[in-house]
Structure 1
Amino acid sequence: MPNRSPITAICLGIGLSLAACRAPSPTPEGPSMPWVSIPASDARLQYVGRTYRAGTGVVFSHPGVTVRASFWGDAVRMRLDDAGLGGDVGTNHFDVSLDGAPPTQLAVHPGQGTYPLASGLPVGLHTVELFKRTESLVGASTLVALEVHGELREPPPRTGLRMEFIGDSITCGYGTGVTFMPESSSSKVPTFTSKHQNPRRAYGWLTARHLGAEAVFVCYSGHGVYRNLDLSTSGLIPALYEQAVPDHPAAWDFSSGPPDVIVLNAGTNDTFAGAGTAAFLPDEAAFKAAYRTFLERLRTLHPRAHIICTLGSMTDGFKRREQQGVVTSAHVGDWISALVAERQSQGDARIHRHVMAMQNPFADGVGEDWHPSAATHQKMAEALSRFIQDVVRP
């Protein structure tokens, strides 16, 4: 009778074949676990926010884009190809969270690289979350693959309520990582650095968290509704809204996870543009035409969504000029109110006007380039959350 190992005897005794008996465990453990590379397009990787699939991976650039994955094992890393140029302005930053713990900040370098996200973990089931802090002006990122020391599992469930925040630098969380206390309205404060951009400290993400919602951001610093801060008219917010990734040709698929609530915070750059030029004051007809068309487009794309139009909190939209004793003025905030009332009179009961309080720099400080501080964003979020609970979701 041939010699048999104890495990072989047990397998044959209960009717298992030798092949099944020798098959590897469905849950690998310990040093024998392999490194497994999962392409970025794998359906078990969960994306929140705008992305598109390219030949090399999944491309994204808006702040707040999130990648989540669950895996059994003890380590995880990613392969990323980054288009940022590096330096204080051109370095993309991510938050990395493991198993719901507070995030750690990760700076990535230009070009391709492999980045450890977690190692030396207890062997078991873990969830990793990658959250892009920086916006499109810093550069797009392409996730090539996620690599796990173990095996990938199905992603965690997504939340029910979905919110979309459309806007400019304020919505992007520009400069929220630092606070400066100016002595006067003419005080100089530091300018933009990518490491201090953090949408988790901005009103949109804070509002969504308060309401238990998932947040998607479509925003770009310096861009406006009919004119940008530098008076250019390319890449306006309504045009950016059609794209999966700004400055890339791929169109966004609007059938993918439509929002329940849209917050449109645009018009600040239209207001501020034109300093020292004949175009100092925004043009009422041009602004209203562009904003009206954008609202019509949003309603066509999202017939059931609540649309909240707001502005701020760096300006309420009022701007005046005095030349040779003649005073002229414009008020973008009033124009937005009129456009919302116009749609309401046409029977759109799911559009709302929220008036955002202006920042108080001498009480709450400011972020880089006089943008709202984290304290101001917290106040903005509290007011917007109350508005949504009282008016949008009674």
Structure 2
Amino acid sequence: MGTGRPTKISISNRDRFSLMGIFPCLYASLLLLISVQSAIAEEVSAPSRWIGRVAEDRREFGWPGSGLEMVFRGTSLKLRLEDSGNNSAMLDVDGRVSRLDLAKGSKLYVVADGLPNGQHSVRLTRRTEGLFGNTRFLSAETDGSFLQSRPSPRRLLVVGDSISAGYGVEAKTKGCKPDANAETENQYLTYEAITGRTLGADVTTLAKSGIGVSRANDDGEVMAGLIDRLTPTDKNGSPPSGDPDYQAIIVNLGTNDFGSGLRPPTFVKDYAALLSKLRTEHPDALIYAALGPMLSDPDFAAGEAAVKAVVDSRIAAGDTHLHYLRLRVAVGSYGCNWHPSPPTHAAMAQILTDRLRKDLNWSAAP
């Protein structure tokens, strides 16, 4: 039977020394746990907002210029991304821009560290186009807390080919190898990206090298087959329900249709169908049918005549929010394979920027 008295426990000197050794270990482990929790105050699996067109359910982005923005309060930011290892991105940390080459597989990137404690914005956008594979956002970590980000009230959609993708823009010579375009491609330096930054507009670029309205250089699908895809590598797509209302749409196609003396017999019909589709999906947007600057004189004349014929026909039928935009500028230097260089893109951007300022009354960044 119990006596109700507490049981007396005898601890030997050896046990005392053992317990004394445990406490420092527990204390050190506790400090380490606190340190780790302080370093990772918040971890999320969704960005503050997506940039461009993305497959949000898969958290994948593959169109040139697509990506994400993280807004946070703290001093550091890490991004875990998964990639084919062939892509690179532009990293904008509070306006300071740098290049980030993406490794194959999943990797945690320290994209910001040692910042003043406060609110910061980090934008990561693809330099490269979809043929190099998609990039997947897995998670983000900060020592502070994440905030939401609002999109710009100004929105542009660009539908184009290698010119709009930024193919070869960073090359030092026009004679570079075709397989070098991942290294020298940079959508950030394109005319549409420059215009977007100048006017404070969000830009969605749907572009692929070699693509046209009626034909493609790789004998693959033309733009009508790609324009609805969430990423360029998707097998098919339907008009994305999450697309914003664009104030302006720039269709810069025709170079691959009319280059090297080609004259596709169905171009006028196919181009009219593409513009009709865009008008149905975006009834209030200004649409600019653009062309330039890579075609030779006779090829440009033929392409311009065909594009203008479609534009004039649709305007006569009542589409008064449609214009032809000539993006043919004087070329002083070239990128890969005769593609526009940064000065050429800057000159094209000036034409587009001036036109948008005039037509949309976009005087200064919002």
**Under a length normalisation based on structure 2, what TM-score does the superposition of the two structures give?**
0.82
The 3-state SS of whatever aligns with 2:132 is coil
2:258 paired residue number: 271
Question: Where does residue 11 of structure 2 map in the other structure?
Answer: none
Q: Which residue of 2 aligns with 1:387?
A: 355
| 1:254/1:141 CA distance change after superposition, 3 Å | same
- Counterpart mapping for 1:345-384 below 5 A: 345-360=316-331, 364-384=332-352
What is the RMSD of the two structures over their aligned residues, measured on CA atoms? Answer: 2.3
Aligned CA distance change for structure 1 residues 32 and 110 (closer, same or farther; 3 Å): closer
Q: Conserved in 1, the CA contact under 8 Å of 2:329 and 2:348? A: no
Between the aligned partners of 1:281 and 1:304, the Cα distance in structure 2 is: 34
Name which of 310, 314, 335 aligns with 1:343. Answer: 314
Cα deviation, 1:118-167, whole Å, max 9, x if unaligned, reads 12233332221112111111211111111222221222x32211111110
* Structure of higher CA gyration radius: 2
1:70-92 per-residue CA deviation (whole Å, 9 max, x = no partner) reads: 1122221111111x3x4xxxx21
Q: Secondary structure at the match of 2:353?
A: helix
SS in 2 for 1:245: coil
SS at match of 2:75: strand
- TM-superposed deviation, 1:369: 1.4
Relative to structure 1, the CA distance from residue 30 to residue 261 in structure 2 (aligned partners, 3 Å threshold; closer, same or farther) is: farther
C-alpha separation between the residues in 2 aligned to 1:316 and 1:390? 29
Unaligned runs of 5+ in 2: 1-33
C-alpha displacement of 1:210: 2.6
Say which structure is richer in helix. 2
Q: Tell me which of 110, 135, 140 is aligned to 1:141.
A: 135
Paired with 2:202 and 2:297, the residues of 1 have a C-alpha distance of 29
CA separation of 1:390/1:98 partners in 2, compared to 1, >3 Å: closer, same or farther? closer
Structure 1 residue aligned with 2:44: 38
User: Residue 97 of structure 1: which of 80, 92, 100 is its match?
Assistant: 92
Cα distance in 1, alignment partners of residues 115 and 215 from structure 2: 50
Alignment partners' CA distance in 2, 1:30 and 1:154: 26
Whether the aligned pair in 1 keeps the contact of 2:61 and 2:67 (CA below 8 Å) is no
What number of residue pairs does the alignment pair up? 326
Amino acid aligned to 2:310: L
Provide the rounded CA distance (Å) in 2 between the counterparts of 1:115 and 1:138: 20
- The one-character-per-residue Cα deviations of 1:229-287 (angstroms, maximum 9, x if unpaired) are 23x1x331122111111121454524431211000000111122xx6xxxx63223x11
Distance 1:388 1:73 in 2: 37
**Residue of structure 1 in register with 2:227 after alignment:** 241
The alpha carbon displacement at 1:209 in A equals 2.3
**What displacement does 1:392 show?**
5.4
Aligned to 1:47: 50
Structure 1 position 66, deviation (Å): 3.1
What's the offset of the Cα at 1:31?
A: 7.3
Q: Deviation at 1:391?
A: 4.5
Give distance in 2, aligned partners of 1:244 and 1:318: 36
Q: Report whether the alignment pairs 1:220 with 2:208.
A: yes
Q: Percent identity?
A: 29
**TM, length-normalised to structure 1:** 0.77
Secondary structure at the residue paired with 1:216? strand
Distance 1:245 1:297, change over 3 A: same
In the alignment, is the contact (CA less than 8 A) between 1:317 and 1:333 conserved in 2? no
The 2-side partners of 1:34 and 1:142 are apart by 24
Query: Match for residue 11 of structure 1?
Result: none
In structure 1, what is the Cα distance between the partners aligned to 2:115 and 2:356?
Answer: 41
> Are the counterparts in 1 of residues 152 and 202 from structure 2 also a CA contact under 8 Å?
yes
Deviation at 1:213, TM superposition (A): 1.6
Q: How does 1:76-225 map to 2 (within 5 A)?
A: 76-82=77-83, 84=84, 86=85, 91-100=86-95, 102-155=96-149, 157-180=150-173, 188-191=175-178, 192-225=180-213
Runs of 4+ aligned residues of structure 1 deviating over 6 Å after TM superposition are: none
Structure 1 stretches lacking a partner, 5+ long = 1-28, 183-187, 321-329
